[in-house]
Amino acid sequence: MSERYRYDAADLGVLGPEFKAVPVTAHDLTGAQFVAETPALGDLPTPLLTLDAGALAANVATMAGWARAAGVDLAPHGKTTMAPAVWRQQLAAGAWGITVATPWQLGVALASGVPVVLAAYPLLEPAVLRALTTRPRTARVLVWADGVDVVEEMARHLPGGAAAQPVDVLVELGASGGRTGARSVEAGLEVARAVGRVPGLRLAGVAGYEGALAHDASPASLETVRRYLTDLAGLHARVLAAGLYGEVPGGLVVSAGGSAYFDVVADVLAPLHDPAGEHGPPVRTVVRAGASVAHDDGFYRGITPMGRETGGTLTSAIHGWARIVSRPEPGLALADAGKRDLPFDEGLPQVQAVRRSGSGPAVPVTDAVVTALNDQHAFVRLGPAAKDLRVGDVLRLGLSHPCTAFDKWRLLPVVDDALAPEPVVVDLVRTVFG
């Protein structure tokens, strides 16, 4: 294990039926005992979702290298995996922090020892606001606000007087037709001014999410993203020129960048990255790409900047496995994985290969298509080249959108190589989805 990043197997207690990825033969074993037996993929139950150790490590290294070359920092979105062991791997590779999307996720990140947390949402939960300002903490937390009304609501729940620990706030810029975010630079300036009027809040930068404005890599979409990011840089410049930033321990933050357009983010915003403050107040440009850690065989494979002009390669580290349980009519197979097991919001799973009776090398399949998912079943239409698939065969499935895959599994086996003739379990990843 010295050449691999260690995940959660060594720290897990006794395994049991609450983990659907664990075979009945592992019940009453600890995670460490189970992995020590080097179980083969064929020993695991279906339906199943696995992570590929080599691909995970390579993706983390690729993104870390890209950020260094681009001159930006990374705070990968933790909601993709909600797996603190994966977060630790990303931090160990050089990530500046981790991004979260809810107060509960913020709590998980703080409890996991994340040093910097970008809370990419308006923090309005009274108990969490009070805890951030009154309880001892070592992590830096930055929250978002996109309206004067948001700032006023936050102010209602802060302790009276100046808080011992001011809450760092990033003004969120949006755009018409987007998701949250102030709808203009002028509106963003008003939010910045409102933050400055509230004791206990500290204006720390600007942020936004360009991924809500485009959904492909066409020239028109890329130009839409570029215009938005230019406005975000402009908002930061206007706030700076107006003298609205005060002294901010840790420096200012300008943040954007999901997993689809981080190349454009770097192109537009990297010139602002000046953490040493050589040209003014210290500023960090922070990219939040989260899906890149697992990547996929669907949406992100088609849109990733790594497939455009950016150097490096991302590889899908996540696969589904489903057993054919019925051949009720010619040209149709039913497999035992459905919406409870696999993502489906950005495209259905893709049949990649078959392991006959669940063992032996995976043989490529080119004529089988998942056409629908029920709760626990996949409908697989079979063309002439796949007509010999039979009950008991196990299909390897390429998945699309890892952000809605991890949440279906409390424990994920990590295999040495998902494409090997007989993948072997080398670790386990625990997720925390509430």
What is the tens place of the pLDDT at every residue in 79-121?
Answer: 999 999 999 999 999 999 999 999 999 999 999 999 999 999 9
DSSP state of 178: S
Q: Which of 264, 294, 324 is the last residue of a domain?
A: 294
At residue 307, does pLDDT exceed 80?
A: no
Rounded CA gap, 377 and 328, in Å? 13
If asked whether residues 143 and 257 sit together in one domain, one would say yes
What is the tens place of the pLDDT at every residue in 403-414?
Answer: 999 999 999 999
If asked whether residues 85 and 127 sit together in one domain, one would say yes
Percent of the chain at pLDDT > 70 equals: 97
Residue 28 maps to which CATH number? 2.40.37.20
* Inter-residue contact 414 to 56 (CB < 8 Å): yes
Q: What is the pLDDT of residue 69?
A: 94
Q: Model confidence at 24, in pLDDT bands (50, 70, 90)?
A: very high
Domain region containing 420: 9-53+314-430
Q: Which of 232, 260, 294 is the last residue of a domain?
A: 294
- Give the mean model confidence (pLDDT) for residues 392-418: 97
> Does residue 212 or residue 237 have the better pLDDT?
237
Q: Model confidence at 159, in pLDDT bands (50, 70, 90)?
A: confident
Helix and strand counts by DSSP (H, E) for the chain? 10, 18
Among residues 312, 320, 289, the alpha carbon closest in space to that of 400 is found at 320
Rounded CA gap, 100 and 119, in Å? 5
If asked whether residues 348 and 223 sit together in one domain, one would say no
If asked whether residues 147 and 80 sit together in one domain, one would say yes
404: left (phi over 0), alpha (psi -120 to 50) or beta: alpha
What is the tens place of the pLDDT at every residue in 178-229?
Answer: 899 999 999 999 999 999 999 999 999 999 999 889 888 899 999 999 999 9
What is the tens place of the pLDDT at every residue in 45-63?
Answer: 999 999 999 999 999 999 9
Q: Which of 294, 324, 359 is the last residue of a domain?
A: 294
pTM of the predicted model as reported, rounded to 2 decimal places: 0.94
* Inter-residue contact 98 to 80 (CB < 8 Å): no
Task: Give Cβ neighbours of residue 340 (< 8 Å, ≥ 6 apart).
Answer: 375, 376, 408
If asked whether residues 111 and 196 sit together in one domain, one would say yes
Total domains, the chain: 2
Among residues 250, 238, 243, 260, the alpha carbon closest in space to that of 308 is found at 260
Q: What is the pLDDT of residue 310?
A: 66
Q: Which of 280-289, 310-319, 409-418 shows the lowest mean pLDDT across its residues? A: 310-319
Whether residue 37 is contained in a domain is answered as yes
Q: Which amino acid is at 290?
A: G
Q: What is the pLDDT of residue 105?
A: 97
If asked whether residues 226 and 354 sit together in one domain, one would say no
- What are the tokens at 384? 């002439």
Q: Model confidence at 258, in pLDDT bands (50, 70, 90)?
A: confident
Q: Model confidence at 136, in pLDDT bands (50, 70, 90)?
A: confident
**Per-residue buried b or exposed e for 243-281, using 16+ beta carbons within 10 Å of the residue's own CB:** eebeebeeebbbbbbbbbbbbbbbbbbeebbbeeeeeee
CA 306 to chain centre: 17
Q: What is the pLDDT of residue 5?
A: 72
If asked whether residues 44 and 113 sit together in one domain, one would say no
Q: In what order do the strands lie in the sheet with 283-287?
A: 73-74, 283-287, 252-256, 201-207, 167-172, 140-145, 116-119, 98-100
Rounded CA gap, 256 and 265, in Å? 7
Q: What is the pLDDT of residue 4?
A: 58
Whether residue 300 is contained in a domain is answered as no
Q: Which of 161-165, 255-259, 368-372, 392-396 shows the lowest mean pLDDT across its residues? A: 161-165
Q: What is the pLDDT of residue 233?
A: 98
Q: Model confidence at 161, in pLDDT bands (50, 70, 90)?
A: low
If asked whether residues 176 and 285 sit together in one domain, one would say yes
Q: Which of 159-168, 237-246, 336-345, 402-411 shows the lowest mean pLDDT across its residues? A: 159-168
Strand (E) positions, 295-410?
A: 318-329, 332-335, 350-355, 363-364, 368-373, 378-382, 394-398
Whether residue 362 is contained in a domain is answered as yes
Among residues 348, 347, 349, 381, the alpha carbon closest in space to that of 367 is found at 381
If asked whether residues 373 and 360 sit together in one domain, one would say yes
Q: Which amino acid is at 395?
A: L
Largest CA distance in the chain: 74
